[in-house]
Amino acid sequence: MLNTVAGNVGLLLQAVLFAGTYLLAAPRRGRPVALLYAAMVAVNGYALVLLGAMLLGIPWQSANLILALAAGVSLASAPLRSRLRRASADIAPILRRNWGAIAIVGALVLVQGVAAALAPELSIDGQLYHGPTLAQLVQQGTLWGWDAPNQYLFYTDLTMVSGLNLATFTGAAVFDNGIQIPHLVLLMLAINAALRTRFARSWIRMALAALLVTAPVVWMQPRILYVDVAYAGALVALVVMIATVRHTRSLDFVVAGIAGVSIVAMKPAGILTGALLLVAYAAVAVWRLRRDGARVLPTLGRILAAFVPAAVLASGFYLRNFVVFGNPVYPVKTKVGPSTSRASSTSASSPRGTADRASSTRSAGSPTRSTSGTGSCTA
Helices (H) and strands (E) in the chain, counts: 19, 2
Q: 10 Å Cβ neighbour count for 136?
A: 23
Q: What is the mean pLDDT of the chain?
A: 87
- CB-based contact 237:38 (threshold 8 Å): no
- CB-based contact 145:126 (threshold 8 Å): no
- Residue at 251 is within a domain: yes
How far apart, in whole angstroms, are the C-alpha atoms of residue 61 and residue 76? Answer: 24
Low-confidence ranges of the chain (pLDDT < 70): 336-379
- Residue at 237 is within a domain: yes
CB contact burial 226-246 (16+ within 10 A = b; e otherwise): bbbbbbbbbbbbbbbbbeebe
The DSSP code sequence of 253-304 is HHHHHHHHHHHHHH-TTHHHHHHHHHHHHHHHHHHHHHHTT--HHHHHHHHH
Radius of gyration of the chain (CA): 21
- Residue at 339 is within a domain: no
Q: 10 Å Cβ neighbour count for 129?
A: 24
- Residue at 365 is within a domain: no
> What pLDDT is stored for residue 338 in this prediction?
65
> What pLDDT is stored for residue 336 in this prediction?
66
Q: Is the Cα torsion angle 110, 111, 114, 120 positive or negative in sign? A: negative
What CA dihedral angle connects 326, 329, 333 and 336, to 10 degrees?
-70
DSSP symbol at 45: I
Amino acid, res. 299: T
- CB-based contact 154:343 (threshold 8 Å): no
Q: Is the Cα torsion angle 182, 185, 189, 194 positive or negative in sign? A: positive
DSSP symbol at 341: E
How far apart, in whole angstroms, are the C-alpha atoms of residue 182 and residue 152? Answer: 25
The DSSP code sequence of 112-157 is HHHHHHHS----HHIIIIIHHHHHHHHHHSSSSS---SSGGGGS--
pTM of the model: 0.87
- Residue at 241 is within a domain: yes
- Residue at 319 is within a domain: yes
Q: How many domains does the chain have?
A: 1
Q: Is the Cα torsion angle 94, 99, 102, 104 positive or negative in sign? A: negative
Q: Which domain holds residue 157?
A: 2-69+98-326
> What pLDDT is stored for residue 81 in this prediction?
84
- Residue at 242 is within a domain: yes
How far apart, in whole angstroms, are the C-alpha atoms of residue 182 and residue 215? Answer: 17
> What pLDDT is stored for residue 291 in this prediction?
84
- Residue at 336 is within a domain: no
Q: Which residues pair with 368 in a beta bridge?
A: none
> 158 exposed, middle or buried (CB, 10 Å; 0-12, 13-18, 19+)?
buried
Q: 10 Å Cβ neighbour count for 214?
A: 11
339 SS3 class: strand
